[in-house]
Structure 1
């Protein structure tokens, strides 16, 4: 018994080329899992969110409510796609690349549009976006030494940013408008604080990695040929 069905061997006992094509099809189909589909939905929602937010000059409460709904769905899918991928072993190369891009794209779109409309100071948008870009580059800088894990502070930062941007998207007035100012202030503080902590972790990780490399090189040099 070879364990290969006759239908796959063409009755000759040898795997036919169709078997390879079937295996390739299965591997390709694995990209279309629920986690990746949610990530794709989030990517599609980015331009939809921008169009909805900027309709009629960007000041129509109804259109902004629809824009908030798109933003909220995007943020919710951000919570679930990563959880599903880890829980059900659905992690793919596509997801590793597309997920962080989708996360940053929806947040950047919201911040930039709000600043263009004059609802949010440009310096707030600049601080948040520069922090996100800087941390991404820093992760690549130390990636050969290790991975900087997501911290609890980072998760709180993401929650605060999403809540604040969502509140600014809605046409709020009165006490709620005041509340969103303070929520955004908390988000900015967490953005800066967690960014500095990531810098510290990156420096420590790189120093440790370089020290281990030097120790390994010395140990290799001491070994007899």
Structure 2
């Protein structure tokens, strides 16, 4: 397994302690929030480096094309579900993001059934970057009145990128048996 794929797997593994510390941040206090922040930040940085190294060293694999977006989804969805649980953001925002991820995963599954791998598009990468930045900001500042407005940015990019992705992949919906 090459280095970019190892970084992708590391991101998935880091989701476990991240979930623990963020999920217990209200009772564990400031230290738990800081630990969650550090774990999420490290995991987010691996997202940049796995892609950078894969492209620079020509180590792009089908595994990486499939697992990199999945690792992002695990990390982001974990944060959003916990944010809803501890009332940092409204549930509908999390549902919009999660629904889009299921839709895109479904399209990727249809493509894979036809022997094709669909890599992440630029708008999808911007969406993921905005999600990660906003999650970091929310972890730093905790519950406040601005979280809703901050989350609007990735929610809008989520809807937009989901629409673009679905429009480009509409041929996968034709002749589905």
Task: Tell me, yes or no, whether TM beats 0.5.
Answer: yes
CA distance in 2, matches of 1:95, 1:56: 32
1:151 corresponds to which of 121, 124, 135: 121
Higher CA-based Rg: 1
In 1, are the aligned partners of 2:4 and 2:49 still within 8 Å (CA)? yes
Q: Which runs of 5+ in 2 are unaligned?
A: none
User: Within 1, Cα distance between the matches of 2:124 and 2:68?
Assistant: 16
| Alpha-carbon distance in 1 for matches of 2:159, 2:21 | 30
| Residue 184, structure 1, aligned to residue 151, structure 2 | yes
Alignment of 1:90-169 (within 5 A): 90-143=59-112, 144=114, 148=118, 150-169=120-139
**Residue pair 1:64, 1:170 contacting (<8 A) in 2 also:** yes
CA shift for structure 1 position 64: 0.7
Q: Which structure exhibits the higher relative contact order, with contacts defined as CA atoms closer than 8 Å and separated by 6 or more residues?
A: 2
Work out the CA distance in 2 between the residues paired with 1:56 and 1:104: 21
Of 39, 52, 75, which aligns to 1:83? 52
Q: CA RMSD in A?
A: 2.6
TM-superposed deviation, 1:38: 1.3
Please list the CA deviations of residues 32-75 of structure 1 after superposition, one character each: whole Å capped at 9, or x if unmatched: x3212212221221011011112354562231122011111111
Answer whether contact 1:75 1:162 (CA < 8 A) is retained: yes
What is the aligned partner in structure 1 of residue 9 from structure 2?
40
Question: Normalization by structure 1: what TM-score?
Answer: 0.67
From 166, 169, 173, the equivalent of 1:202 is 169
1:153-172, CA deviations, whole angstroms, 9 ceiling, x for partnerless residues?
A: 22221111111122222234
Mapped to 1, the partners of 2:158 and 2:70 lie a distance apart of 18
How many residues get paired?
174
Question: Which structure 1 residue ranges, 5 or more long, are not aligned?
Answer: 1-30, 211-225
What CA deviation, in whole Å up to 9, does each residue of 1:83-138 have, x standing for no partner? 21122122345434432321111111111111111112111111101101101101
